[in-house]
Structure 1
């Protein structure tokens, strides 16, 4: 990363459903958080796709993005991501061409390969899905053609609506394999450190080394997503982290529970085996006061060689979530887009 470049911040919102709340409330909070991020000067706002997960309400990014576009003015809006093996490449292309028609030069199409669900749910979403790597590569190439109107070897079908702009194309990965696909196709690449905290910088370097320019992207473009918990005091930040760690462990065990309040977990006693797993969970996140978080995230960006970080923040209390993003924007000195426009004029 160029040391002179300011780090850009973006948001990945999974629309969490904390204990004691409803999915409707979670989606309303997504709208409110997007509006705040728009005001604060964040670069992108991505929403995720999960299925059969009671603690997460985000199942259809393309539907949610249509609403978020009407509620914001400056943010790039995107999927983090659409799980392509569940769907027809043509339908995904048309969904995002429609979004690009509605909100020109503001749409990111982020594509993932993971099920975003358990295998049973994935098989119901697409009974023909064999979870085959070659099938995924074929879908990516088809999607590329539909978005750019390139004539393939077979019959030509044009994705509609036809527009004069194209969504940014991103591949999302927690293993690095999709980084190689992104490099080959000339797509941008996002690494999910919040899922896998190991080996990411090496995978990012490989993406950049193997990158082949495409008509829509002449040089590598990348970011890194990580859990971020920022609070006014170190004590509050530690409480947020402790709650997050236990919730991640519960989800790993297959427990379908909403995000708990700190009071519920503060007296939890870990077994020796759980302590080792908890240490791994803590590697997936950065927490602390604004100054502490700034130092940790700046180092993370340097390790990965990127100038954009995507913050994933989940808390029980929505006010804590909003405050975390506010503090992040302040400590990284984000400039609201409206102020940028005013200066330019």
Structure 2
């Protein structure tokens, strides 16, 4: 297998609560995974924001990132992403300036516009949110100003500072599953990540449009783009197929409004897709890359070439945590990532 030295691998972790496990265990597993991928040579470790669900345990990326920073040494840490319409731009800026002060040069602020929950929960988080495009753009402009310590006369930024005052700032990324936020990222000079794990259609065109429209900013002189997708890698094709089938079952269930626990290996093996589900499989299969190390290496290399990106963010969910760890280990070997022996903390133990 030929090496791909220019392709960087990163992680987008959702802190999934496995069947029979607890939310506390899910967060411990996220910490263990961050430590493993830190040692294996992955570039970034991002954590997501979700609300009003029992299957994912991460509603507050900024809190979890502070913990992960204390248990890792090298890997960049970020949000994938903070759902900005729920919050004030000032508070988000201060949260991530604090993280940057604690872990300088390692913090990414990934921003999303989607609710990360149902509309009722979004209302409970911010009753004044109208989901208007102009409101979101205004928040992004304010967020940049707070992070830059702008003193623009006759604006709020002339008198209000985001603290702590530090000499570095987190990287800014916009996340999108439709491409619209790619337009915002290009206009404001931010990085852009397309979420293929949510929407498998139109990604390369969205990234291409972002590059064409990009305007340099003080923080980013040239466009920076990446792609996030579900990836499941196993030692054998049979095992990889089983992991992929469980993932597809969960995606179909979610589409059907079923919010139960992730399928176990036994459930996945016994399950037969119905006629209506078979019509949706092609769509969902495009959200998932699976196979042996050689097969996944080929698929990811081809996908990166289609997007013309040099970085992929990989999301893996499995019923057995060991399978999740093994998937990232195999990918690190397949892409010949450079491991590190640095450690800063003892591995978090499971309950």
Name the TM-score, length of structure 1 as normaliser.
Answer: 0.96
The answer as to whether partners of 1:19 and 1:257 remain within 8 angstroms in 2 is no
Give the Cα separation in 2 of the matches to 1:5 and 1:205.
Answer: 23
Partner residue, 1:14: 14
Give the Cα separation in 1 of the matches to 2:340 and 2:95.
Answer: 27
Give the Cα separation in 1 of the matches to 2:165 and 2:206.
Answer: 35
SS in 2 for 1:99: helix
* Residues 1:91 and 2:94 aligned together: no
The answer as to whether partners of 2:231 and 2:290 remain within 8 angstroms in 1 is yes
Partner residue, 1:70: 70
Partner residue, 1:244: 247
* Residues 1:216 and 2:222 aligned together: no
Structure 1: stretches of 5+ with no match in the other structure: 340-345
Deviates more, 1:195-204 or 1:271-280: 271-280
Partner residue, 1:117: 117
Give the Cα separation in 2 of the matches to 1:138 and 1:53.
Answer: 29
SS in 2 for 1:266: helix
For residues 219-269 of structure 1, give each alpha carbon's deviation from its aligned partner in whole angstroms, at most 9, with x where no partner exists. 001110010000000000000000000011111222221212121132222
Partner residue, 2:332: 329
Partner residue, 2:292: 289
Give the Cα separation in 1 of the matches to 2:314 and 2:240.
Answer: 15
Give the Cα separation in 2 of the matches to 1:17 and 1:30.
Answer: 10
How many pairs does the alignment contain?
337
Residue 337 of structure 1 and its aligned partner are, at CA, apart by 4.0
The answer as to whether partners of 1:5 and 1:307 remain within 8 angstroms in 2 is no
Partner residue, 2:347: none
Structure 2: stretches of 5+ with no match in the other structure: 343-351
The answer as to whether partners of 2:249 and 2:263 remain within 8 angstroms in 1 is no
Partner residue, 1:255: 258
Partner residue, 1:342: none
Give the Cα separation in 2 of the matches to 1:337 and 1:133.
Answer: 43
Give the Cα separation in 1 of the matches to 2:88 and 2:262.
Answer: 33
Name the TM-score, length of structure 2 as normaliser.
Answer: 0.94
Partner residue, 2:155: 154
The answer as to whether partners of 2:5 and 2:335 remain within 8 angstroms in 1 is no
Give the Cα separation in 1 of the matches to 2:257 and 2:72.
Answer: 35
Residue 172 of structure 1 and its aligned partner are, at CA, apart by 0.3
Give the Cα separation in 1 of the matches to 2:18 and 2:280.
Answer: 23
Give the Cα separation in 2 of the matches to 1:323 and 1:209.
Answer: 38
SS in 1 for 2:270: coil
For residues 112-133 of structure 1, give each alpha carbon's deviation from its aligned partner in whole angstroms, at most 9, with x where no partner exists. 0000000000000000000111
Question: What does 1:187-226 align with in structure 2 at a 5 Å threshold?
Answer: 187-226=190-229
Give the Cα separation in 2 of the matches to 1:316 and 1:255.
Answer: 17
For residues 118-151 of structure 1, give each alpha carbon's deviation from its aligned partner in whole angstroms, at most 9, with x where no partner exists. 0000000000000111100000000010000112
SS in 1 for 2:104: coil
Residue of structure 2 aligned with 1:269, choices 265, 268, 272: 272
Partner residue, 1:343: none
Give the Cα separation in 2 of the matches to 1:71 and 1:158.
Answer: 30
Residue 101 of structure 1 and its aligned partner are, at CA, apart by 0.2
Residue 18 of structure 1 and its aligned partner are, at CA, apart by 1.3
Partner residue, 1:25: 25
* Residues 1:305 and 2:331 aligned together: no
The answer as to whether partners of 2:242 and 2:268 remain within 8 angstroms in 1 is no
Residue 5 of structure 1 and its aligned partner are, at CA, apart by 5.1
Give the Cα separation in 2 of the matches to 1:215 and 1:165.
Answer: 12
Residue 280 of structure 1 and its aligned partner are, at CA, apart by 1.0
For residues 252-291 of structure 1, give each alpha carbon's deviation from its aligned partner in whole angstroms, at most 9, with x where no partner exists. 2222212121211322222221101122111101000000
